[in-house]
Each structure stands twice: as C-alpha cells, then as structure tokens.
Structure 1
Amino acid sequence: MPTPQQARAQASAITSGKAAPEAEAAPVSQIRSLFDRPRMSPGHRRIAQYLIEHLPEAAFLSVTEIADRVGVSQPSVTRFAAAMGFSGYPALREKLQSIALGTFSGTPDENQGNELQSAVDAEIENLENLRRDFADPDQVIAAGRELAGSTPLTVLGLRISASLAEYFAYAARRIHPDVRLVTRGGSIAYDALLQSRAAGGSWVLAFSMPRHAQETLAAVKVARDAGLRVALVTDLALGAVADAADVTFATGTGSRLVFDSYAAPGLMAAALLQAMTDADPERTQGRLEEYEQISEQHQFFLRD
C-alpha cells in the first residue's frame, strides 16, 4: 500500500500523461455512476461534483480538506459518504483512490464531453427509456380518458414539482372546462381536494419529483380518503407516494447537475395532455377554437 505522498505522486503522474503504458483507461462514467442518486440534496450534489471534477487530487484529501474546498461542513461530507452507501468517509476515500490509481490515464475520453454534455447524455437516456415505455401506450391512453372525464380535474404539484403541475394545468385548461391547480400543501391542499370531490371530481393528477415532499404524500392520502383516484407522475415506480397512487407513470429525472432537470417528466405530461385531447376530440376542437377567438380578440400573443 503506497504512502499518502507516494499515492499523490502516482496520481499526479497519471493525470500528467506519465502513467505506465499498461494502465487501463476507463470512462469517467465509473466515478459518475458511484454518485448517481436521483434524490441527492443540492449540498450532496456539490460534493459529488467536486469529487468527480478533481478526482486525482480529491481522492487523497481528508474529510476536513474536502469540506473546506467544497464550502460545506465536515458532518455534511460524512453524511454524504453514508448516503452513497459507505460506512464512512474513509471507506469512500478508499474507493476513490482505487479508481484514481487503477482506471484513469492521461488520455482523455473524447466521447466523454464536459459536465453539461454529460447532463444532456443522461437526459437522452431518460428519453430513450420513455420511448421504450411508449411502445405500449394503453396505460397513457386510459389515464387520459379518465382525466378528461373528471370534472373538475385537480392537478397537484408541491415545492419543486409545482412547475410541472403549472405547465400541465395551463395547457389542460385549453381543452378541459374545469381544471383546478394546487401548488400549496397542508390544509390549503386538503381543502381544495375536498372541494373538488364535492363538486363531482373523480381524479387528481399529481407530480412528485425529487426530493419528494412529505406534503405530497399527505395530500395524496387525503385525496384517496375523500374518494378521488390519483394518477402520479414521478421518478421512481417504488416509494411511499407511488404506493399511495392508483396509477403511476415513472420517468427518470436528470440528476447530473446540482438541480434536477425534467425532460422526460415534461414529455410524459405532454403525452397525458395528448391523450386527454384524443379522449374527447369534439370538446377539444370546440374549446381550442373558442380560445383562439378570445386570444385574437384580446391580443394575448405577439403576431409572428
């Protein structure tokens, strides 16, 4: 086992192109896959990014040095190691050292790209997975029919999931006569859900993206107890919120950057909207034509 000084020197030789010819090159995906967790907090993402971008040096730093360089507390680094499945930071560091000394060479992987390109690649993979799921569209079509038939239709999205819910509700109002958007949790959400049920609503479309809010689970349970059925768009088919829903559409989120990106969930939302339009084409056509007349009359949009 090399001393820390020898290990640092060996890592430096590797990254400067002086590694032994027999050193085995490996894609950067090996280190990225170690930290590929969809539910990491922004603080944990920052630590992971630093370790990925500075691996040859970071693999030999102490927990205190890592905390100082990332700008987080020492306990945050320790909790990060535990969240990644290690017994502590020393075990994580040992793994990082084995990768730094055993798989990285001075020859860059031309296909790897930079951090932003890697994030795009991850989203492409999510979209490809969604494309395979759409090979059998029956569940989406059936859900669209149920959502179109629920009057009112409630759309729920709390905390970071609110943006997806707002997009869906904005579009759904063009084709559905009564769409009710809920983006605040607690008793406000409960009141809205109970009113929707009392008004004759039968379905709720909920969005739950990482990090999943306790308020979302509570609201879904209230909806179910009130007699509403719940269709859920989320990142994983397993979990407490998915277990509480009637129908779950699981689509991957982009987790390569500090904050998630939602290419696949956004497309899933658009697919459900399409299914709603197809479920009642006459109503869809009539409402869209009426909206076009109103938007033209009041000049909602700039002329192309």
Structure 2
Amino acid sequence: MPSPQQARAQASAISSGRAAVPEAEFSPTSRLRTLFDRPRLSPGQRRIAQYLIEHLTEAAFLSITDLAERVGVSQPSVTRFASAVGFSGYPALRERLQSIALGGRGGTPAEESGNELQAAVDAEIENLENLRRDFADPGPVVEVGRKLAASTPLTVLGLRISVSLAEYFAYAARRVHPDVRLVTRGGSVAYDALLQSREAGGTWVLAFSLPRHAQETLGAVRVARGAGLKVALITDLALGPIADEADVAFATGTGSRLVFDSYAAPGVMCAALLQAMTDADPERTQARLEEYEQIAEQHQFFLRD
C-alpha cells in the first residue's frame, strides 16, 4: 500500500493530466517538492523546506538541533514543520528524507527541472493552465461580474496578505464603477464598513482570502452575510470555512514554492472579473473611462510616452 505522501504525488499527477509514474523514477528534488508543496506552510516552514531541498544529502542525517541551527529556526518550529507535511514528528520525517537521499536518483537543486526560482515559475504556469481550463465555461465569471457591477456601493474586502490584490481590484474597479469601498482593516472597523455598505444599498462584497487565511476574514464574511450582503470570494481552496460561507467562490492556485506566496492566477482572476464588470454595463464603462482620461490629461497624472 502506498504511503500518504506517495498517494498525494500520484493524485497530483493524475489531476494534472500526467501519467502516473512510480515514485522511484522521480528525482530526489522532485519528490521533496511534492512532499513539501503545501500552500498553508508558514514562511518559516518554507525556509525549512527550501533548506532540505537544497541540502538533502547532508540534511537527511542532521539532528533536530543541528537542522534548527542551520536553518535559523527553533526546534519546535522543526517539529511543527514535520507535522505540517504529514509526519508524526521529526524522527519520522528524517527517516523519510534518508530514504529519499539514499534510494533516489542523483540530482541537485539545479537539476533537469531547473533551480528553485524556475520551479516556482513552473508551478505558477501550472496554476494558470488550471485557471485556463476553468475559463472554458466563462459563465460564472460573467454572471458574478454583472452582479458586482450592479451593486452600489460595491465593497472589496482584503485583510492581511490579501490586501494587495484587494487594492488592485478596487483601484481598477473605481475607473468603471461609481462607488467602490475598500476594506483592509479587520475587526470592528470592517464590521462598520460592511454594515454601512448594506445600509447604503450595496448588495455584494468581493472578498479575498489567500494563505495564510486570516481568522478575521471569516468573521467579516459572516458579518456581511448576516447583514444581507452576498459574498463572492477569490481564494486558493474550494473547500474550507471561508469558502463555505461565501455565495460564490473562485478557487485559484497560489504559488507556494518560495518562502512567500506568489499570485499569478488570482491576479488573472481579478482581471477577468473586472472585464466582466466592464462588459456588464458598456455605456457606463465608456462614459467613466472617457471622463477619467480627460481628468488624467488635464492634471497630467501620467508621463507621456
């Protein structure tokens, strides 16, 4: 019977359209990347993962004390990392690392599949390819874009790491929508903004929840739903407490190969919803864009090409 890690690798291969390949035929680095490819790993845990990938031959035989010292983290952090990637503790993880180091084919971080930065790009390409397949049926995006365009005001919610995408969406949406309200602070501040949006006639909130998912985002989404607002969610997981609370969830993969996530696919999803909003009311869109261009020209907002 395959181990849980082997099963995950096989499932990943099947879901991505690749033929299943026996684990022994993967290089050590590829096997470690499959083992550690968890979007919910913290930045500190990803540092541990990167060190193990880059120094497998040596790291597989280090004590927990030595490994923690080499990476620059605490021993409890190593223990939590082992648990996060599916092991009962560091001894079980080290046994697995030793098996890979001694039984796998040769390879270095700069193997056939490239270095860590190239691997991160490859992972994002796969996320974009998955999103492209999702867009084979553009109906859900078009429908949600129409509803967001009709909501006045339209509230955009993004807390903690999700702030950057929320700001991007709100900035662009203001060019084609008359009243966009951006919420980037949690707690009672978010609650006030959501309740005021509903009182002002708003019907929809676009929320962002990306790893690591903030507890306060869940609270804000629940307040929005309780106030009578509909919630569209851009996230990385189709299942989970925040997705369960949303009326519509668009799940797009985030790049988790590096210490901090990258957001190629969620960024494209933002642009797709913005496109759907512009198409929902083309006359309003054209009028607002022309007015903005006149103002931008008058006040010289941008450098001339």
Q: TM-score, normalised by structure 1?
A: 0.91
What is the aligned partner in structure 2 of residue 204 from structure 1? 205
SS at match of 1:249: strand
Residues 154, 50 of structure 1: alpha-carbon distance in 2 compared, 3 angstrom cutoff? same
SS at match of 1:154: strand
User: What is the rounded CA distance, in whole Å, between the counterparts of 1:302 and 1:166 in structure 2?
Assistant: 22
What is the aligned partner in structure 1 of residue 302 from structure 2? 301
Offset of residue 29 of structure 1: 1.5
CA contact (8 A) 1:253 1:261 kept: yes
Offset of residue 296 of structure 1: 0.3
User: What is the rounded CA distance, in whole Å, between the counterparts of 2:207 and 2:246 in structure 1?
Assistant: 9
Within a 5 Å distance, the mapping from 1:113-262 to structure 2 comes to 113-262=114-263
What is the aligned partner in structure 2 of residue 71 from structure 1? 72
Percentage identity across aligned positions? 83
Offset of residue 25 of structure 1: 6.5
SS at match of 2:211: coil
Range with bigger deviation, 107-116 or 176-185: 107-116
CA-based RMSD of the aligned residues comes to 1.4
What is the aligned partner in structure 2 of residue 10 from structure 1? none
CA offset digits 1:179-238 (Å, max 9, x no partner): 000000000000000000000000000000000000100000000000000000000000
4+ residue runs over 2 A deviation: 23-28, 106-111
What is the aligned partner in structure 2 of residue 81 from structure 1? 82
SS at match of 2:261: coil
Offset of residue 83 of structure 1: 1.1
SS at match of 1:174: coil
CA offset digits 1:20-68 (Å, max 9, x no partner): xxx9662622111101100111110110010000001100111011000
Q: TM-score, normalised by structure 2?
A: 0.90
User: What is the rounded CA distance, in whole Å, between the counterparts of 2:231 and 2:25 in structure 1?
Assistant: 50
Aligned residues: 282
Offset of residue 112 of structure 1: 1.2
Unmatched runs of 5 consecutive residues or more in structure 2? 1-23
Unmatched runs of 5 consecutive residues or more in structure 1? 1-22
CA contact (8 A) 2:155 2:182 kept: yes
User: What is the rounded CA distance, in whole Å, between the counterparts of 1:110 and 1:231 in structure 2?
Assistant: 41
CA contact (8 A) 2:144 2:232 kept: yes
What is the aligned partner in structure 2 of residue 6 from structure 1? none
User: What is the rounded CA distance, in whole Å, between the counterparts of 1:35 and 1:301 in structure 2?
Assistant: 44
CA contact (8 A) 2:237 2:252 kept: yes
User: What is the rounded CA distance, in whole Å, between the counterparts of 1:150 and 1:39 in structure 2?
Assistant: 33
CA contact (8 A) 1:155 1:181 kept: yes
Larger radius of gyration: 1
CA contact (8 A) 1:24 1:105 kept: no
What is the aligned partner in structure 1 of residue 293 from structure 2? 292
SS at match of 2:288: helix
CA offset digits 1:252-295 (Å, max 9, x no partner): 00000000000000000000000000000000000000000000
Residues 279, 293 of structure 1: alpha-carbon distance in 2 compared, 3 angstrom cutoff? same
CA contact (8 A) 2:40 2:211 kept: yes
What is the aligned partner in structure 1 of residue 8 from structure 2? none
SS at match of 1:28: helix
